[in-house]
Structures are given as C-alpha cells and as structure tokens.
Amino acid sequence: MTDVNTPAATAQTDDALRQAMHRVRLEVDKAVIGQAGTVTGLLVSLLARGHVLLEGVPGVAKTLVVRSFARALGLDTKRVQFTPDLMPGDVTGSLVYDARTGEFEFRAGPVFTNILLADEINRTPPKTQAALLEAMEERQVSADGESRRLPDPFLVAATQNPVEHEGTYTLPEAQLDRFLMKLVVAMPERDAEVSVLRLHAGGFSPRALSGVEAVVTADEIRAAQDAASRVQVTDDVLGYIVDLARATRQSPSVELGASPRAATALLAAAKAWAWLNASAAVTPDHVQTMLMPVWRHRLQLRPDAEMEGVSADAVLQSVVQQTRVPI
C-alpha cells in the first residue's frame, strides 16, 4: 500500500489535479473561442488565490468568459452591474431592520459567492469601488463591528471598457494593486471569429451556456491551490524577480515602479504557472511569461512618456531584455 505522503503519491495526485484544471479549459472552449490566453490567466489567478481585471472593447466576450469559467468550475457565481448610483451596501450587504424581532439583521450582498463578476467596475464611484477592497484583500466583510468570512475559493473578476471614458471613475492605485492580473481581451483572429459564428449558427445560446458543465469540485480547486503554493523557488529566481522590480523603478519612463507587493504577486503567479506546466520549480521563463499580465497595471508612467505613446507593456519588455537572467 502506497503512503499518501510519499513523493510518488503526491506526484500522482498533482497530475490528477492538473488534468482536472485542463478539463476546465476544454469545457470553457465549448462556449468561448479564440480567448485561450484569457482563460489561462483566470486559471492561474484562481490557483494563486488572486483576482483578475479584464479590459477590452465591448463585444469581445469578457463577461461570457467569466460565466463559462464559473460554470466549468461548478462554483457559485454572482454578477453585479456597476453603475453610478450603486452603493457599497449593494455589493457587500447591509443591516436591515426586522420588524418582527425588533432587531437589525445582516443581509448578505452578492460578494458572498465564489466568483464575483464585477461588470464595468469603472462606472461606479470610488466609495463603492473601495467597498470591494476589504473583500478582495482580507476575504471578509465587516459590518456592525462583526467580520464575516467569504466563501473559499473566492475570486473577483472585474471588467472595464478602455473606450468611452465619459462618466467613468478611474480605479485608484490601491484598488488596482489588489488585482493579481490585468488581462487585455483582444479581438479574435479571423479563423476564430468564423468559428464563433459557426457556433452561433448551430444554435448556441450564450445566455443558457448550453453544453458547458461543471468538471471539477471545490475540494479539487482548493487542493490545486495548495499544490501550486508548494512549488519550489531558488534564491536565484527570487533575486531575478527583485532585479526586475528594481529595474522598473529605475526606468526613465516610469514615475512609480513595481512595489514589493507586485514582486510577491509575480512570485505567486509564476508558481501557479509552473505547477500548471508540471514543473517542480519556478524558472526565469515562468517569471517572464507572467510578468506583463501581473505588472502592466501596477506601473505609473510619467506624463511625458504617455504623451509620446510609451505603454507599460513596452517598458516591461525593455526591462526583461535589460535584466540579467540567472543561469
């Protein structure tokens, strides 16, 4: 009989969990075509216990990706349409007076779920955006002096539109920093777009998500998160992450570079990506792959650099090229 704690048994368990995560990708592919990178980003964020900001023009399936992802995971999901008149209590919950008992009772808001889809998060005022801060960072909601834990696993997937800035409220730096990744959802390639039309011509309903089923359990997700956190990291790779962060701070185009929190976020994402690729330890390649989605929203560029058309992605590319890679 094999001991469950032996390396061989752990490897077998990890392989089974990786196959389960791969099934999630295949299941989402039934509803969403041409957005494999976005689905992978969501999966890495889930394994790293982070949150995701999805940015893309209207109609590129941002909301559909998240809904399909939640359906494939078999997790409870709630959607909140962020509007200018949305109040913090509409998201986190509030105290409601019960006339029968004569007491106030807490009525949980939509944040008490496994996956919260925060649609058009930049259309709501800062006080409502800030209401998500505690939930995202502490995974709890405080009301009437009492803290209430959120379900586990918990992930916030927020969407925002890079065009139509009229009537929007830019996310504050502190809020942006709470998102592990910012994924740019691009227009699909021609072949992928033809496949999308073929899918709809065959009777697919994006509202019903026909054909997408739950393929993993919450216990498997938690086990995969634990397995990803156990991936080994050498001092050389840790030093490489710090060197990259310091290089962003010294870039002439950057006003505010990557913080220590950004470095720990990159480490968590690289460990999750390494685990998904069946790697026993994090390599510089894993770090480089995760660099842009994890750091692109954390850099504050100088106004003159922005006017010249410099982007955060371009700065990060140059930082990778200029930083010595440990062998």
Question: To the nearest 5 percent, what fractions of the chain are helix, strand and coil?
Answer: 50, 15, 35
Question: What is the pLDDT at residue 199?
Answer: 83
Question: What is the pLDDT at residue 105?
Answer: 81
Distances (CA, A) of 44 to 20, 41, 71, 262: 14, 5, 17, 16
How many other C-beta atoms can be found within 10 angstroms of the C-beta atom of residue 89?
A: 15
Closest by CA position to 296, among listed 177, 159, 124: 177
Question: What is the pLDDT at residue 177?
Answer: 86
DSSP per-residue string spanning 6-65:
SHHHHHHHHHHHHHHHHHHHHHHHTT--S-HHHHHHHHHHHHTT--EEEE--TTSSHHHH
Question: What is the pLDDT at residue 305?
Answer: 87
Distance between CA atoms of residues 36 and 227, nearest Å: 23
Stated pTM of the model: 0.89
Identify whether 188 is preceded by a cis peptide bond (ω within 30 of 0): no
SS3 232: strand
How many other C-beta atoms can be found within 10 angstroms of the C-beta atom of residue 238?
A: 15
The CATH H-level (homologous superfamily) assignment of domain 8-199 is: P-loop containing nucleotide triphosphate hydrolases (3.40.50.300)
Q: In which residue ranges of the chain is CATH 1.10.8.80 found? A: 231-327
SS3 256: strand
The CATH H-level (homologous superfamily) assignment of domain 231-327 is: Magnesium chelatase subunit I, C-Terminal domain (1.10.8.80)
Strand 52-55, strand 103-108: pairing: unpaired
Distance between CA atoms of residues 50 and 181, nearest Å: 8
Look at the chain and count its residues: 327
pLDDT in tens, the chain (327 residues): 344 456 665 667 888 899 999 999 988 888 888 888 899 999 999 999 999 999 988 888 888 889 899 999 988 889 999 888 888 888 888 888 888 888 888 888 889 999 999 988 888 888 888 888 778 888 888 877 788 899 888 999 999 887 766 667 788 777 788 899 999 988 888 898 898 888 888 877 777 777 788 899 889 999 999 999 999 999 999 999 999 999 999 999 988 888 999 999 999 999 999 999 999 899 999 999 999 999 999 988 889 988 888 888 899 999 999 988 887
Distance between CA atoms of residues 319 and 297, nearest Å: 15
Q: What are phi and psi of 65, to 5 degrees?
A: -60, -50
Tokens of 254: 């950057």
Q: In which residue ranges of the chain is CATH 3.40.50.300 found? A: 8-199
Cβ-contact 81, 122 below 8 angstroms:
no
Closest by CA position to 299, among listed 126, 149, 154, 177: 177
Tokens of 64: 């559909």
Long-range contacts of 311-319 (CB under 8 A, 24+ apart): 315/248, 315/251, 315/253, 315/254, 316/248, 316/291, 316/292, 317/292, 318/251, 319/244, 319/247, 319/248, 319/251
Q: What are phi and psi of 255, to 5 degrees?
A: -90, -40
Question: What is the pLDDT at residue 94?
Answer: 83
Question: What is the pLDDT at residue 3?
Answer: 47
Question: What is the pLDDT at residue 8?
Answer: 60
